[in-house]
Amino acid sequence: MLATSSLISSDFSTLVFLRNQKVASRISFPNSAKIKNSKTQFCNSSIYRYNYYIKTKISGFGEKGRPYVCHSSLNLQNQEDPAMEKDVDASLQEKELGGGNNNGGNGDQWDRTSSFVLFGLWSGLMYYVFFLAPNQTPLTDMYFLKKLLNLKGDDGFQMNEVLVGLWYIMGLWPLVYSMLLLPTARSSKGSIPVWPFLVLSCFGGAYALIPYFALWKPPAPPVEEAELQRWPLNLFESKLTAGVTMAAGLGIIFYAGLSNGDVWKEFYQYFRESRFIHVMSIDFSLLSAFAPFWIYNDMTARKWYDKGSWLLPLSVIPFLGPALYLLLRPSVPTVPALSSPTLTEEE
């Protein structure tokens, strides 16, 4: 009568404990001389441990009421499959080259629905900017633009401090996004490069970046060591660049933030009447709203989420949160320079 069974080894079948009857059994093992596998040290040690277990634990062969039946299905010749090893090596190589790291979002989550929503948002924004935004002071807008570009001399008119601060902080946002999107937000599953959108963001801000957000397909390709020594990554990965950006942003925000209430009331009136100031203010809000997501993406790509997750709540602070993250983040992981296909085939 079958009472219980016990698993002896992952390479062997079970021992069946039978009670109240005697069963003659014989344990046989493959001859080690016939093993064709070149790596037999592990197999021999497994046989030794199995024999030792049999001698010590199953010393009651032939005793009444304690017979055992052992079956072995060990096949050492097929222990290693070359095709399986090849697949495993390919998977490990893909993971080492960056396919296995976490780049803050994956292709399954960032699907067509997200792209459709972002394109819809961008289309709505464009329609609002050109057809619905207030445009009561077009001549004043042109005058403000010339003053901010230093195309007009000193005519005695003092520009609104909040407007001046917003203008200069908008000039720093493209640098912040360039440091966030290069290299950890490049698209590896499509032929859409990120740099044209970053260049256009110097003039269009978030209105130029949102189409890339919709077209982005993670994960980012791996970064080679030599890339960090070349432009533009040597600039955008530099702590000096991050420090200068942070210091400039602090100065501009303090300059605008310390203005009195009359200055802020004047700026609010401009916001309600001027298309130029209205659209620029919305642009600032959009860049601040998208920044936490790209900080999370960059943080996970650098494998720094466990230590740097406390910066995510701070990233919602307009400009200063992203600038602080850029100053504190570690270097991006790199891989050695990949060999050319010709050299690989020759080897």
More confident residue, 75 or 204: 204
The whole-number pLDDT of residue 108 equals 54
Map residue 26 onto helix, strand or coil.
coil
- Residue 313 reports pLDDT greater than 90: yes
Nearest to 329 by CA among 286, 299, 285: 299
The whole-number pLDDT of residue 190 equals 61
Give the angle 230-95-41 at the CA atoms, nearest 5°: 130
Predicted confidence (pLDDT) per residue in 213-239, tens digit: 999 888 888 888 888 888 888 899 999
CA 329 to chain CA mean position, Å? 14
Task: Work out the angle between the directed axes of helices 261-273 and 161-181 (0-180°, nearest 10).
Answer: 70
Map residue 70 onto helix, strand or coil.
strand
Nearest to 99 by CA among 179, 182, 185, 188: 188
- Residue 181 reports pLDDT greater than 90: yes
The whole-number pLDDT of residue 153 equals 80
Nearest to 160 by CA among 74, 269, 83: 269
Rounded to an integer, the average pLDDT of 44-63 is 45
- Residue 10 reports pLDDT greater than 70: no
Predicted confidence (pLDDT) per residue in 122-156, tens digit: 999 999 999 999 999 999 999 999 999 988 888 88
Least trusted range by pLDDT, from 65-74, 146-155, 191-200, 252-261: 65-74
Instruction: State the pLDDT confidence band at 338, using cuts at 50, 70 and 90.
Output: low
Question: What share of the chain has pLDDT > 90, as a percent?
Answer: 48
Predicted confidence (pLDDT) per residue in 262-305, tens digit: 999 999 999 999 999 999 999 999 999 999 999 999 999 999 99
Give the angle 243-245-248 at the CA atoms, nearest 5°: 105
How many other β-carbons are positioned within 10 Å of the β-carbon of residue 184?
A: 24
pTM: 0.67
- Residue 33 reports pLDDT greater than 80: no
Q: Which residues have a Cβ under 8 Å from the Cβ of 325 and sit 6 or more positions away?
A: 295, 298, 299, 308, 311, 314, 315
